[in-house]
Amino acid sequence: MIRKNDDEQKSIPTSKVERSTQFVKTGFKIGGNYVKHYSKKLFNSNISRDELNEDNAADIYSSLSKLKGSALKVAQMLSMDKNILPKAYVNQFSQSQYNAPPLSGPLIVQTFRKLHGKTPEKIFDKFDLRSSNAASIGQVHQAELDGKKLAVKIQYPGVGDSISSDLKLVKPFAFRLIGMSEKELDVYMKEVEERLLEETDYELEVRRSVEISKACAHLENIVFPTYYPELSSKRTITMDWIEGLHLKEYLETNPSQEERNVIGQALWDFYNFQQHELRAVHADPHPGNFIITHDGKLGIIDFGCIKELPDDFYYPFFSLTSEGFFNDKPKTLQAFRELEMIHEKDSPAEVEFYYDMYRQMIGLFAKPYSSDRFDFSGTEFFEHIYNYGEMIAKMPEFKQARGVKHFIYINRTNFGLYNILHELKATVRTDTYVPQVNLEI
């Protein structure tokens, strides 16, 4: 029996023409919102942009939700970077961290038949056509086989084939929202494209999930599902179902400080073990990728986005987080140059400007590493980060491309981690897995 749901999608635009038409329609809506805003401003010059932002955010999110895939994934990523978007966009786009409109039952059956040559009922003992969770690239269904409860993730039709064209269509929206220079946006989009191409390869995700789960198996208070390659494909993944609550639901149960600290410590160890021991990290730290189990452990349910940290990035970057490193100006400048934060053509005045600004920036990032324990519940640390981000976003000196491409996902990973720890109001030990750097870079 298929549940009747007016929000279900009966189809997804898959051709370039269909998807570009959806963007054009959205562009017209946004144009209309601007006309409405400036018409009101004629009669009230003090009117704010809040209503305009809310209208635009709703229209853009509605369009991206229908398209799904990489377009919706970019919205999800932007919603995590709270200091570069107006609040209305963050609020709208953050919906993609948990739920997007699901595909209808018949479309799921059609997709499954195309991928496996069988309907899901022919493969599993039970298969719920109602999705349990629908996000940017795929949606999850509950199934059973031989008495075992399973989660089956199904990728939306056409997602993997439309990444490059989608990102070109998203670019004008991102350009206006973020305010980056075109060159910097091109670097951003290229790195995003590479990661998204990997993220839509579910066979690669299963292999990585198995490898990283084994490598992290010793970490305390973390659980991983078992994956079933024989029941998976390039566009489907079958794994154990983990019972529990998403972060938002978990916090609504008013867990104790001790319980929140346990989850926070598990998150911290999970990310820093990967960064500093494996040199490859789960680079998608949005709350929808985690489950807090009923016995108070952290379940990791998605390994789609993995970012590798090459030596020529890892050593200079994490050296900057070492205590006392900034006391040696020549070494600091060398690290900044290796990371392309300071360019060869910069004038002496520009070198001094960027040296000072980046010292402050890295100093903020590295603050949790500056002692063996850090309390993420306070607002002061995050206010400093957001205020600094807002300040440099308005500075013309930062409209040009600065920094190697690896910053895009490493910043996203670590600040995403910080934000979840802040939501948990957790205090964690930060000396469990620390940067392994040779200060003589």
- Residue-wise pLDDT for 290-348, tens only, equals 999 999 999 999 888 889 999 999 999 999 988 888 999 999 999 999 999 999 999 99
Give the pLDDT score at 422.
93
**Residue 50, pLDDT above cutoff 70:** no
Out of 19-23, 186-190, 250-254, 263-267, pick the least confident: 19-23
Q: In whole angstroms, what is the distance from residue 95 CA to residue 75 CA?
A: 9
**Residue 111, pLDDT above cutoff 50:** yes
**Residue 47, pLDDT above cutoff 70:** no
Ranges of each domain in the chain: 16-96+168-181, 101-134+137-160+200-241, 242-441
**Residue 278, pLDDT above cutoff 60:** yes
**What tens digit of pLDDT does each residue of 381-434 get?**
988 887 887 787 778 887 666 888 888 788 888 988 998 999 999 999 999 998
Average predicted confidence (pLDDT) for the chain? 79
Give the pLDDT score at 73.
57
**Residue 25, pLDDT above cutoff 80:** no
- The H or E element containing residue 421 is helix 407-424
**What tens digit of pLDDT does each residue of 115-156 get?**
889 999 999 999 999 888 776 678 899 999 999 999 999 988
CA–CA–CA angle 378, 341, 182 (5° rounding): 95
- Pick the closest to residue 97 from 294, 285, 298 (CA basis): 285
**Residue 199, pLDDT above cutoff 80:** yes
Out of 51-55, 164-168, 295-299, pick the least confident: 51-55
Better-predicted residue by pLDDT, 5 or 291: 291
Model confidence pTM above 0.85:
no
Q: Which two tokens stand for residue 262?
A: 């346990």
Residue 289: which residues within 8 A CB-CB, separation 6 or more?
Answer: 282, 300, 301, 302
- Pick the closest to residue 427 from 384, 381, 383, 385 (CA basis): 381
| Average pLDDT over every residue of 255-277 | 97
Q: In whole angstroms, what is the distance from residue 278 CA to residue 270 CA?
A: 11
**What tens digit of pLDDT does each residue of 223-236 get?**
999 999 999 998 89
**Residue 264, pLDDT above cutoff 90:** yes
Give the pLDDT score at 176.
55
Q: From 1.10.860, 1.10.10, 3.40.1710, 3.30.200, which CATH number describes the 101-134+137-160+200-241 domain?
A: 3.30.200
Give the pLDDT score at 251.
95
Q: Which two tokens stand for residue 170?
A: 């998203």
E-state strands within 286-359: 290-292, 298-300, 306-308
Give the pLDDT score at 1.
32
Portion of the chain with pLDDT greater than 90, in percent: 42
**Residue 182, pLDDT above cutoff 90:** no
